[in-house]
Every structure is written in structure tokens, then in C-alpha cells.
Structure 1
């Protein structure tokens, strides 16, 4: 089956799992102009994975066309959750070829649920192609689009002690004076997570930089 057919199959499965009574509350919580079907995020991901497996999707070449169709033609938000789940498939995640699609999704999604999920695709990219991925994140850290900058800041969440401290400093530096809540929260979040494995580094960073109250509070939350 081609990308259009697989995308149609995933849409059908999402609609079969829909609980319409849930949809209005989901849309209100997410402050979304795009309506919901009433499928939970875990279920949307599960459906995407199971249908992808059924259709033999196991690499970026087969996953990306389906993801782009689901994303660009989405009428309901769960279709975009399913599209993002395809980028996390084994054999797809960590492939540098997914970066243009990641960027497209961030720039067109423009909200925290999409941005934060897409940021989770970067730790495997930093493992598979650290030099090019690090250079990309440094470029993104000065982008005019705040969501692209947010991804650059939180792209190392989950790496624990493997966090590249120099890279983290480099992507935070152009954003320390930004007044946007989502940027300030991202800086604090990145520091808070690093503090779990390297509290001394975070304490020293906070002591030597002028952070917003939001960033500082988040960074020191568990210290």
C-alpha cells in the first residue's frame, strides 16, 4: 500500500477508537482550533505503531510519506499525534532523514504538545549524528520561531548524564533574555532535568547567569 492508503487506514482505526464524549474536553484543555476525535494520546500512538507494523513500515523511507500525509491533511488532532508516533518507530528514530519532517511539524504545529513530543526525537539523533545535530540545534536556538527555539533548548531531555553541557549552554544563551513564557519554562525544564544527575553544574550555572524568575524556579525546584 502507498502512503495515502496507509494514512487512510490509520485514520479509520483512529475513528474506530474515538470516544466522542471526550473530544470537547480535550479540545478545550489544549486550546486547539483543530477538533479532537476523542482518542487518548497513548491510544493514538498505539494505533499508529500497530498499523505501521501491519503495513511493513520499518524505515524512514516508508514512514515519512505516511507521516506527512497524516500531518498535512489532518482534520483532527489525533491524526497529528499518530504522524509524530511514526517518527519514533524503531528503524526511523535516529535517522537524520527525518529532520526536515520534524522541522515542518514544529513550524506548522506551533503549540507545546506538538513541540515537546517532537523534541523527544532529538536524543537519538544526537547519538547517531552528534556533530550535525548539534550544529542544527545551535542554529535553531536563534531562529525567529519561538517553537523552533524551544525544541533547541529541550532537545536533550532524557539524556541524563549524556547531556552535552556545552551544547546546552550554547542553545540557552541566545534565549536568556526572552520574555516568552514557553522559552523561559523550557530553560528551567532543561536545567531541572540536568540537576537530577549533575546538581553542582546546575547550581553553578544558575549562580553565574541572570535567569528569569520562571527559569530559576524551575531549575532549582529539586535542589
Structure 2
């Protein structure tokens, strides 16, 4: 599977009308093919199953470098799997290398979903993610919350998972006065997901810090809290 082969398969599924709508919606100057996400997912899954690790990494890197919307999404999906053997270090390194390129929520979120698997495989990588929270790039700061969403989901967290949960809430606290809509939304997203599994922590955070959130973010963060 070469880059040309992969792009040919994506272009075969292209929809010019959909591409124009995507360009207008995302407002980022890059090529859009108009491929529906389920089709991109299906292609990436097929490539992932047919390629060894080195070939997957090479193809993902080349797809990303095209700057085509669907190619970047496919690059992320090539690395979305729970276990990468014999080592996932190269995959984690590649994912990190893409973070400075984030310029829209859609591509960033697909990469973060891949990164979530690598973080849960090795939580010591949270040390690297923590360096993102002081970035001067909004999308990098936001990624620190999106990529750590797995720590909102444990119903019976271990002591280490609880420490990680509190660590990320500490990062969120440093974002409270950030006026960026996407940052406020990310805080709300993290707290909303946490509220489904740990309502006490969510309530405590909002009781102490909720007044500093934008009203829409405060409302969204509390939306699923049990009455």
C-alpha cells in the first residue's frame, strides 16, 4: 500500500458537493475530498489490517504530510488500536509530532482518540501531555484535555487513576480564565464525562471553580449531574 494507492482509494469515494460544504464549515484552507467519515474509517481499518507496524507508521506519516483533510483523519485512524506490538513508542512519537499542526477540532479529535490508546497503555506519558498546557497554541492546550478523556470514564478507579484524574482537573483549573470558546468547551466536556462516573468530584470542582467558567461551559459541565 503506497501513498498513491491510499489517496486513489480516498478520491474514489470523494463527493465534490460534500467537500465544498466541509470547506465552508471548517474554514481551514486545505484540500477536502468530501469522503464520508464511515468510509474513511473503513478504508483505514482495511489498511491497518493489511500492513505491518512499520508500513502503517510510514503510510500515516505520508498521509498526514499531504494536508488533505481525509488523509489526515485516515492517518490518525491507522494508529487507533488498543495494542500495538512489539512497541507503540514510534506510534506515540508520531502522534506527538502532529500536535503542533492542529488547527481544527475535527482532525485534532481523531488524533487525540489515537493518542488516548497510547496514554492508557503507558500513563507515564501524561508527563509529556502536561507540557502542552502552557503552550501558546490554543489547539495544543485543548488537546491536553481531549487526549486524557479516558480518565473520566472509570467507575471504580484505582489509586493511580484517581491521581491522574485529579492531575488533569488541576490542568483544567489553569484554563478557567481562558476566554477561548474551544478551551471552555473542552473543560465542560471533561467535567460532563466525569460527572457520569464521579459526580462527587465534578460537583466539588464546580462548587469551587464554576463561577470562573463561561456560563455555557458551566451549564454543559453540570448537565448530566444526578439531581
Range of TM-score over shorter length: 0.7 to 0.9
**TM-score in terms of structure 1 length:** 0.86
User: Which runs of at least 4 in structure 1 moved beyond 6 Å after TM superposition?
Assistant: none
Secondary structure in 1 matching 2:149: coil
Q: Secondary structure at the match of 2:142?
A: helix
- How far residue 198 of structure 1 moved from its aligned partner, in angstroms, is 1.0
1:115 shift after superposition? 1.4
User: What is the aligned residue count?
Assistant: 214
The CA distance in 2 between the partners of 1:26 and 1:169, in whole Å, is: 33
Residue 179 of structure 1 pairs with residue 171 of structure 2:
no
Who is 1:128 aligned against?
121
Counterpart residue number, 1:62: 55
Q: What residue number does 1:213 align with? A: 215
1:1-43 Cα offsets, whole Å, 9 max, x none, are xxxx522111011111122232211221222311321211121
Counterpart of 2:103 in structure 1 is 110
Deviations 1:134-170 (A, max 9, x none): 1112111112211111111122224412563222223
TM-score by length of 2: 0.85
Separation in 1, partners of 2:82, 2:200: 35
For the residue of structure 1 that corresponds to 2:136, the secondary structure is coil
Which residue in the other structure is 1:26 paired with?
Answer: 22
**1:141 alignment partner, SS class:** helix
Partners of 1:197 and 1:85 lie apart in 2 by 27
Pairwise CA distance, 1:205: 0.7
Pair 1:100–1:206, CA change in 2 (3 A): same
- Asked if the contact 1:175/1:183 (under 8 Å) is kept, the reply is yes
Q: Counterpart of 1:167? A: 167
Output the aligned Cα RMSD: 2.1
1 CA distance for matches of 2:177 and 2:167?
A: 18
Q: Is this contact kept in 1: 2:95–2:111, CA < 8 A?
A: yes
Please give the alpha-carbon distance, in whole angstroms, between the structure 2 residues aligned to 1:190 and 1:141: 15
**1:91-102 to 2 correspondences below 5 Å:** 91-92=83-84, 95-102=88-95
User: Match of 2:32?
Assistant: 36
